[in-house]
Amino acid sequence: MTIPADHPRYQSLIVRERLAGSVRDGIVSLEGLVAHGRGEAFDYLIGERTTDSALLAERTAAAMIRSARHPVISVNGNTAALAAREIALLQQASGAIVEINLFHRTEERIRKISQLLESNGVTVLSGKAERIVPLSHDRALSYPEGTGKADVILVPLEDGDRCEALLKMGKAVIAIDLNPLSRTARMASLTIVDEVTRALPMITGFLMTLQEQDIVLLSRTPDNNYFLTEAMKEMDRRLAHALD
């Protein structure tokens, strides 16, 4: 069967291919492929589209980034492989610092991911990483001018421990995570339950159109529980009619 090019399933097949290639190129870790598969399953449950509540979360994220003093985008292997160009556009619209933070950290991966991001127009924070985040392993390694100074930090596909540590440091954490039940999703200040390549352009779009009064209103106290509950309800609704 041929799947039409504008069908969401076609897009997810292309994304899967790109990710598999990025494993071969040393950008994405093997664990990253597993994480992607988990994301695909949840994406299927929300209908492989941006839901209304995710759209509101994306608008809220734009408001939080706009009102931040020192916004930072933390990029891992999966995010770089899937959305290097989208990160460049978000950086242009927000002026945020882009920092690479890896769970499975090697200097070679940092170098390759930096090259990939820069070839797509991202300015990547460089320098010497230090043990800034209170974690015992390499996920502690960050940059004083990036995570060190951040008040708002956008972490697509974050792991739970690091999310918790960033919150303990007093940072507002915006997560992008298709699994509303993950530790990251439940702990973050704001979780966008959407696929990263759909979520980032939405945030960029809102950054360019939000009015001052919306920024103040939306960024005040994001209700993360509301966004998670709405995502679960959406999945529930779809499952209830899955065989119709």
Tokens 């390694």 belong to 141
Q: What angle do CA 177, 183, 184 make, to 5 degrees?
A: 45
Would you count residue 178 as binding ligand PTJ (CB under 6 A)?
yes
Would you count residue 49 as binding ligand PTJ (CB under 6 A)?
no
Residue 35 Cβ vs ligand PTJ, minimum distance, rounded to whole Å: 3
Q: What angle do CA 132, 151, 174 make, to 5 degrees?
A: 95
Residue 141 Cβ vs ligand PTJ, minimum distance, rounded to whole Å: 11
Q: What is the number of residues in the chain?
A: 244
Binding map of ligand PTJ across residues 101-140, x = CB under 6 A, - = no contact: -xxx------------------------------------
Contacting residue, 36, 59, 66, 171, with ligand PTJ by CB under 6 A: 36
Tokens 């509950």 belong to 229
For residue 153, the SS3 value is: strand
Site for ligand PTJ in 206-235 (CB under 6 A): none
Instruction: Determine the interface stretch with ligand PTJ among 58-66, 129-137, 145-153, 176-184 (rule: CB under 6 A).
Output: 176-184
Would you count residue 195 as binding ligand PTJ (CB under 6 A)?
yes
CA distances from 119 to 89, 199, 209, 211, 232 (A): 13, 21, 27, 32, 38
Q: Which of 56, 40, 57 is nearest to 48 (CA)?
A: 40
Contacting residue, 32, 71, 146, 222, with ligand PTJ by CB under 6 A: 32
Residue 244 Cβ vs ligand PTJ, minimum distance, rounded to whole Å: 26
Please give the biggest Cα pair distance in the chain: 56
The H or E element containing residue 142 is strand 141-142
Nearer to ligand PTJ among residue 82 and residue 231 (C-beta): 82
Residue 216 Cβ vs ligand PTJ, minimum distance, rounded to whole Å: 28
Residue 47 CB neighbour total at 10 angstroms: 13
Would you count residue 38 as binding ligand PTJ (CB under 6 A)?
yes
Per-position DSSP letters for 103-127, written without gaps between them:
SS--HHHHHHHHHHHHHTT--B--S
Residue 119 Cβ vs ligand PTJ, minimum distance, rounded to whole Å: 18
What the block records as the tokens of 228 is 């998670």
Would you count residue 182 as binding ligand PTJ (CB under 6 A)?
yes
Nearer to ligand PTJ among residue 62 and residue 177 (C-beta): 177
Instruction: Determine the interface stretch with ligand PTJ among 37-45, 87-95, 207-215, 220-228 (rule: CB under 6 A).
Output: 37-45
188 CB-side CA count, 13 A: 31
Q: Kindly list the residues in this chain that would bind ligand PTJ in the complex (CB under 6 A).
A: 29, 31-32, 35-36, 38-39, 42, 76-78, 82, 102-104, 157, 159, 176-179, 182, 195-196
